[in-house]
Amino acid sequence: MEYEFIDSIQLNFNPASMNILNIAIGIMMFGMALDIKKDDFKQIIKSPKGPAIGLISQFILLPAFTFLLTLVFPAAPSILLGMILVASCPGGNLSNIITFLAKGNAALSVSMTAVSTAVAIVMTPLNLSFWGSLNPATAPILRAVSLNPFSVFKTVVIILGIPLVLGILFAAKFPKIAGKIKFPFKIFSIVVFVAVVGLALIANGEQFFQVIGLIAFAVFIHNALAFFIGYSAAKLGGLNIRDRRAVSIEVGIQNSALALTLIFGFFQGLGGMAIIAGWWGVWHIISGLFMAFIWSHKEIKE
């Protein structure tokens, strides 16, 4: 198959860059958690329908439809496994900002991000192992690295769980300080993430530019599918338009930073996986802002 050479490539990502990426993710999750209040969880208990539809879309529908997509998409196995991994990750923290810009239900977005991040501790390794093993093309990669779901679980707890808990506790203890620093934290972490990914892609420019057309097309289709799944599930579930936008954006904006960390931690920077996750991290910002622009100029009619 064309582009199979990408499976034999391991991207150069030195320990210093890896540490910076992990710190950026920790700051990103801490900053996201500053938005979360105890009342958000109480609201979920009172009105569980929206978050429940979001979780089903995020961790059941998106991975399942991604698996089907990988069965027919003509790409190297590592690219396909990268798509499955990205689909297994929770929503990204940028989804809250984009939902606000899109005139969606920002409170629902924050609630879904909090819940999906917590649930991801179990569902991300589970979905990666399950769907990755079902695809005949990607299963050999999982066997080759002897992927242990529990090891992935421990990594996700450290990267997502601990900063999330610390952020929630900090916001509860110092609400005024949290209100002042939460936006700068988000912007800083996003800039650092994009910079680290950009430098990694530049350092591996020759390989990246050989597959950029295929990668861009794969991410475009996959990301559009994610937005569509979120919006369709919310509409079928009877949610109002603002809630539909929130769910769609939550599913369409994935935590690709987590995906990259897992790729370099467990797959030794396997080329196709790393490039897919890296480009997802760039593209979903562009597509998310585009969706926000369109929706912000569209009148809401219930």
Backbone angles phi, psi at 11, to 5 degrees: -70, 145
Instruction: Name the H helices within the chain.
Output: 15-33, 38-46, 49-56, 62-72, 77-88, 94-101, 106-134, 139-145, 149-156, 162-173, 175-203, 205-236, 241-252, 256-266, 271-296
Query: What is the per-residue pLDDT across 3-46, written as a single tens digit (0 to 9) for each?
Result: 555 665 556 556 666 677 777 777 777 877 777 776 667 777 77
Sequence-ordered list of residues with C-beta below 8 angstroms from that of 174, at least 6 positions apart, any chain: none
Q: Is the dihedral of CA 80, 199, 281, 21 positive or negative?
A: positive
- 67: tokens are 């698996």
- Other CB atoms within 10 A of residue 239 CB: 21
Which pLDDT band, with edges at 50, 70 and 90, does 205 fall under?
low
Query: What is the per-residue pLDDT across 244-276, written as a single tens digit (0 to 9) for each?
Result: 999 999 999 998 888 888 888 788 777 788 889
- Other CB atoms within 10 A of residue 158 CB: 14
Highest mean pLDDT among 27-31, 157-161, 293-297: 293-297
Question: CATH classification of 11-295 is 1.10.10.10, yes or no?
Answer: no
Which pLDDT band, with edges at 50, 70 and 90, does 53 fall under?
very high
Letter string b/e over residues 209-227, b meaning 16 or more CB atoms within 10 A of that residue's CB: eebeebbeebbeebbebbb
- Global pTM? 0.84
Give residue 301's identity as a one-letter amino acid code.
K
- What pLDDT score does 114 carry? 80
Q: Is the pLDDT of residue 149 over 90?
A: no
- What pLDDT score does 275 carry? 85
Average pLDDT over residues 214-218: 90
Which pLDDT band, with edges at 50, 70 and 90, does 140 fall under?
very high
Residues in the chain: 302
Q: Do residues 261 and 159 make contact, with C-beta atoms less than 8 angstroms apart?
A: yes
Average pLDDT over residues 188-204: 71
Q: d(Cα 3, Cα 97) in Å, to the nearest integer?
A: 36
Give the start-to-end residue ranges of the domains of the chain: 11-295
* Residues forming beta bridges with residue 270, ordered by sequence position: 10
Q: Is the pLDDT of residue 213 over 90?
A: no
Average pLDDT over residues 225-242: 95
Instruction: Look at residues 261, 235, 278, 301 and name the one whose alpha carbon lies nearest to residue 22.
Output: 261
What is 145-183 written as a DSSP string? Answer: HT--HHHHHHHHIIIIIHHHHHHHHHHHH-HHHHHHHHH
Percent of the chain clearing pLDDT 90 (strictly above): 33
- What pLDDT score does 101 carry? 87
Q: d(Cα 144, Cα 287) in Å, to the nearest integer?
A: 34
- What pLDDT score does 15 carry? 63
Highest mean pLDDT among 82-91, 199-208, 257-266, 293-302: 82-91
- What pLDDT score does 88 carry? 94
